[in-house]
Amino acid sequence: MKKDEPPFTFPKTLEEFEYAFNEHGQLRHIKTGEPFVFNAREDLHRWNQKRYEALGEIITQYVYELLEKKCSLTKAFLPVDAVDDEPRSFIYLSPDALTNPNKLLVLIQGSGVVRAGQWARRLIINQDLDSGTQIPFITRAMERSPSYPFPLCHT
């Protein structure tokens, strides 16, 4: 932290940030209805960037909740037999992903800070959930073939 910079302490929820997703899946300020503003504090680029990253982490958790509630996916940890001090990760699975012998659809997001279920955080924040998440693809696949199993990978 630089001398004149405020502390890097940020809200822990969308509500505390005073943002919410509207009925169109767009992130909007609760009081003003305006889109997210990156430069909340002029001349404090590092602080604004850290604030953006904190919001991005909250959005990641929000997308995980949507994957489980809206898409009926289940989080599975890998390797399945990992002990506490061993590295592990997780994927999201459709209910029959491990038992259905038919085709398998695998969705893998890009690299960087995006996580399972996301194409790009920037699209989620600046456009909408449909543009920035894999949820439209998941729902479309499930509508076309309810027995179409797939894992959603977390890299």
Kindly list the domain boundaries of the chain, sorted by start residue.
14-153
Q: Which two tokens stand for residue 6?
A: 């405020």
Task: Read off the tokens for 84.
Answer: 């506490």
- pLDDT tens per residue, the chain (155 residues)? 566 667 789 999 999 999 999 999 999 999 999 999 999 988 899 999 999 999 999 999 999 999 999 998 988 888 889 888 999 888 888 888 888 787 777 777 766 787 889 999 999 999 999 999 999 988 888 887 766 555 555 54
Angle at 17 between CA 113 and CA 2, to 5 degrees: 70
Q: Return the pLDDT at 49.
A: 95
Omega before 6 within 30 of 0, i.e. cis: no
Question: DSSP E strands: which ranges in 19-101?
Answer: 19-21, 27-29, 74-78, 89-93
Listed in order, strand segments (DSSP E) in 70-150 are 74-78, 89-93, 107-108
pTM of the full structure: 0.85
**pLDDT of 3:** 63
pLDDT reported for residue 146: 61
Residues 51 and 123: their CA atoms lie apart, in Å, by 17
